[in-house]
């Protein structure tokens, strides 16, 4: 069955920026780190103000000086995505995920990027990867539920996601999405089990 369009379900799915946190440094050899952190902070401010071209330039300078700044890679990916540079954004989010292996935000942002371009399978996969890092990361619970709904996907794992969403979610619109998905998935899993038990 074809995936259905989601005109309203992406309301509330957010790009997640990471605030740059400069680390204390005392030795001269730490000057590149201080400069990179300063550039990343300026890039973050530009990104949040919607000045994405400036944010990209500052972000690229920051990660060139200090490639291990996961927050800078993630924010660079957001600005690249917002300016339609999706291939470069994918690479930036992947770098962010590699250098910050506990952070769910880079994979969440990859899920959103793929959802925006209509690649539901990829979107769902990256939301699930984000949830492997933090099972209760609400933006990825929302994204996974919306992606599964678009794909008409029903699984025990998907049911677990919507149940966790219902435990955490405060927004009434998203609670309705999670509840409708819980009912849909439960019904389909029940029918599937019934069909397996029925004599052929």
pTM: 0.85
Alpha-carbon span 102 to 48, nearest angstrom = 23
The torsion angle over the Cα atoms of residues 182, 185, 191 and 196, rounded to 10 degrees, is -130
Q: Write out the chain's pLDDT in tens, 200 residues.
A: 333 333 334 434 566 777 655 444 445 568 888 999 999 999 999 999 999 999 999 999 999 999 999 999 999 999 999 999 999 999 999 999 999 999 999 999 999 999 999 999 999 999 999 999 999 999 999 999 999 999 999 999 999 999 999 999 999 999 999 999 999 999 999 999 888 887 65
* Domains in the chain: boundaries: 14-102, 104-200
Q: What are the b/e assignments for 118-144, b being 16+ CB within 10 Å?
A: eebebbbbbbbbbbebbeebbbbbbbb
pLDDT score for 20: 55
CATH 1.25.40.10 describes domain 104-200: yes
As a CATH number, domain 14-102 is: 1.25.40.10
| CATH topology identical between 14-102 and 104-200 | yes
The pLDDT value given to residue 109: 98
């Amino acid at each position: 069955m074809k995936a259905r369009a989601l005109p309203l379900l992406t309301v509330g799915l957010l790009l997640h920026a990471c605030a740059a946190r400069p680390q204390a440094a005392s030795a001269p050899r730490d000057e590149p780190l201080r400069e990179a952190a300063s550039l990343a902070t300026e890039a973050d401010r530009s990104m949040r103000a919607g000045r994405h071209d400036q944010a990209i330039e500052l972000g690229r300078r920051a990660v060139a000086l200090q490639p291990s700044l996961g927050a800078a890679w993630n924010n660079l990916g957001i600005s690249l995505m917002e300016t339609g540079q999706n291939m470069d954004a994918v690479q930036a989010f992947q770098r962010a995920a590699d250098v910050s292996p506990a952070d769910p935000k880079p994979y969440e942002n990859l899920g959103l990027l793929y959802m925006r371009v209509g690649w539901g399978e990829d979107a769902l996969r990256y939301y699930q990867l984000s949830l492997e890092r933090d099972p209760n990361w609400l933006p990825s619970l929302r994204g996974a539920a919306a992606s599964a709904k678009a794909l008409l996907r029903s699984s025990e794992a998907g049911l677990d996601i919507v149940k966790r969403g219902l435990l955490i979610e405060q927004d009434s619109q998203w609670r309705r999405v999670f509840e409708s998905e819980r009912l849909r998935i439960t019904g389909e899993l029940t029918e599937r089990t019934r069909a397996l038990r029925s004599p052929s």
